[in-house]
């Protein structure tokens, strides 16, 4: 949960009197990155439900703070870039985050933010966060 990104999205939806669609994409861990006895985590049938519950819990505070914003939440098992490009189809604005590095260097975007900036038709708001 990135409060700065979520708050920006809710404020933008409120200002536009628009519906807010929150997308969380997840992928199971690679079997190559797991240790002994963890292989069952690769295809855990309850993982999507866990993510759905997590997203609901994070958003509840914001739903209470912004009761006039209609929120749809989507949890999908796919690459974040794919999910966001699909979700942005027909959107008025896509809000994504960009982590602020601990060491000040040049401002950089991660691979997901970089990809959506180049592949969506709507405006993209990139919100820095810790």
What pLDDT, on a 0 to 100 scale, did the predictor assign at position 14?
98
Fold of the domain built from segment(s) 3-129? Rossmann fold (3.40.50)
In which residue are the tokens 């959107």 written? Answer: 91
Both structure tokens of 116: 């959506």
Give residue 130's pLDDT.
82
Q: Which pTM value belongs to this model?
A: 0.83
Nearest to 95 by CA among 63, 62, 120, 64: 120
Instruction: Please state the domain extents for the chain.
Output: 3-129
Q: What pLDDT, on a 0 to 100 scale, did the predictor assign at position 36?
A: 56
Q: How far apart are the first and last CA of the chain?
A: 10
Return the pLDDT at 109. Answer: 82
- Residues with pLDDT less than 70, the chain: 1, 29-45, 103-107
């Amino acid at each position: 949960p990135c409060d700065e990104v979520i708050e920006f999205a809710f404020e933008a939806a409120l200002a536009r009197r628009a519906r807010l669609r929150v997308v969380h994409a997840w992928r199971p861990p690679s079997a190559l990155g797991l240790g002994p006895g963890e292989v069952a985590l690769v295809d855990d049938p309850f993982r999507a439900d866990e993510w759905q519950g997590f997203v609901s819990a994070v958003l509840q505070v914001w739903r209470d703070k912004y009761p006039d914003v209609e929120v749809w939440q989507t949890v999908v098992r796919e690459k974040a870039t794919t999910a966001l490009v699909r979700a942005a189809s027909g959107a008025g604005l896509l809000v994504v985050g960009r982590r602020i590095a601990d060491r000040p260097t040049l401002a950089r975007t991660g691979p997901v933010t970089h990809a959506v900036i180049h592949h969506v038709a709507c405006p993209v708001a990139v919100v820095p966060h810790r």
